[in-house]
Amino acid sequence: MKITLDEEKCCGAGQCVLAAPELFDQREEDGIAVLLHPYADSEQHESVREAAMVCPGQAISIEGSP
């Protein structure tokens, strides 16, 4: 599963970090999300889908999800 994060759409709510802390972090200076790994393994698919679903800015895109 490939993950894309559009930083321009990110509002810094941090919901992705709560849903998938192994894949997302936030910049300290402005709270904008940072994608730590562009690919999720099968064990992370559910948390990535949740992160994308709860993102208020709809900044997370997923490709290749089962």
| pLDDT tens-digit map of 10-44 | 999 999 999 999 999 999 999 999 999 999 999 99
Closest CA to 10 of 63, 61, 65, 64: 61
- 64 pLDDT above the threshold of 90: no
| pTM of the shown model | 0.91
Please report, as a single letter, which amino acid is at residue 29: E
CATH topology of domain 2-63: Alpha-Beta Plaits (3.30.70)
